[in-house]
Amino acid sequence: MVVKVDMEQAYDRVRWDFLLETMKAMRFPVTWCNWISACISGPRYAVLINGARLPWVSARRGLRQGCPLSPFLFVMSMEYLSCMMREYESRQLLGFRPGMHTPRVSHLLFADDVLIFAPASREAACAVRRILRAFEDSAGLKANFSKSNVYFSNSFSKKKSSIISRKLGMAIGDPPVYLGVPYYCAPD
C-alpha cells in the first residue's frame, strides 16, 4: 500500500524547541543553533484594525513563509520523521524493495507531503498511525487526515482495504496520481 500524508499547516506548526533539539542531534554547532533561534523567535507582529495598531505580539511556533531559511529548517524537522520511519523499516513494517538487490524504500518527502510505502496489513497501518502520532507530539506537525489518502493495488481485497483505511483514518484514493504523475502499486 501507499499512504499519502498531507501535513496540516506545515510551516505554521513547527515547534521551535523541537527544531533546535533536532539541530543539536544533527551536531550543529551551538553558535548556529543560537543564530537560528534568534532568526525564528525574533520577529514580532502587530495587527491593524481600521488603521489603529494593536500591541505587538510574538509568535510562539512556526516558520515564516517567504523567509529563505524556512524551507531548510522545515526539511530538518522532517528529517526526524525520516529517522522514525527508518526504525520501522528495519523491522520490516514499512518499505519495499524496488529491485532484488536494492535498499528498501519506506518513504519519500515532497515539501509538506509524505509518501509512505508499506505492506497492506493492519500491523503496518498501526505502525503508520503510531509514527504520525509520535511525530505530532514531538514536532507539532500534524497529519491532515481529511486530505490524506491510502492506495492499494487493484488486485487487493476491497474488504481488507476498507479495514486498513479505517485503521489509518484516511480515505481510499483512486486513481493514484501524485504531482500530476500516475504511480501504481505492485500486487500485494
pLDDT in tens, 160-186: 999 999 999 999 987 666 677 766 655
Higher pLDDT, 104 or 43: 104
Does residue 132 carry a pLDDT above 90? yes
The confidence score (pLDDT) of residue 111 equals 77
* 185 located within any domain: no
Task: Kindly state whether residue 187 falls inside one of the protein's structural domains.
Answer: no
Query: What average pLDDT does the structure give for the chain?
Result: 85
N residues, the chain: 188
Q: Which of 129, 183, 124 is nearest to 153 (CA)?
A: 183
State yes or no: pLDDT of 65 exceeds 80. no
Q: Are 61 and 15 in contact (CB under 8 A)?
A: yes
pLDDT of 157 > 50? The answer is yes
Residue 168's nearest CA partner among 124, 105, 103, 117 is: 124
22 lies in some domain: yes
- Look at residue 120 and tell me whether its pLDDT is greater than 80: yes
Domain-located, residue 50: yes
The residue range of the domain holding 128 is 2-179
Q: Which residues contact residue 132 at a Cβ distance below 8 angstroms, ignoring those fewer than 6 apart?
A: 5, 143
Backbone angles phi, psi at 66, to 5 degrees: 95, -20
Cα distance between residue 168 and residue 149, in whole Å: 9
The pLDDT of residue 122 is above 70: yes
45 located within any domain: yes
For residue 163, tell me if it sits in a domain.
yes
Q: Give, for 45, the enclosing helix (H) or strand (E).
A: strand 44-45
- pLDDT higher than threshold 90 for residue 14: no
pLDDT at 88: 85
Q: What angle do CA 184, 187, 188 make, to 5 degrees?
A: 120
Q: Number of folded domains in the chain?
A: 1
* Residue 184 falls inside a structural domain: no
Domain assignment present for residue 134? The answer is yes
Choose the weakest-confidence range: 23-37, 49-63, 117-131, 135-149: 49-63
Q: What is the rounded CA–CA span in Å between residue 60 and residue 124?
A: 35
Residue 136, pLDDT > 90, answer yes
**Percentage of the residues of the chain whose pLDDT score is greater than 70:** 90
Q: For the ranges 62-76, 129-143, 151-165, which has the lowest average pLDDT?
A: 62-76
Looking at residue 176, its pLDDT comes to 61
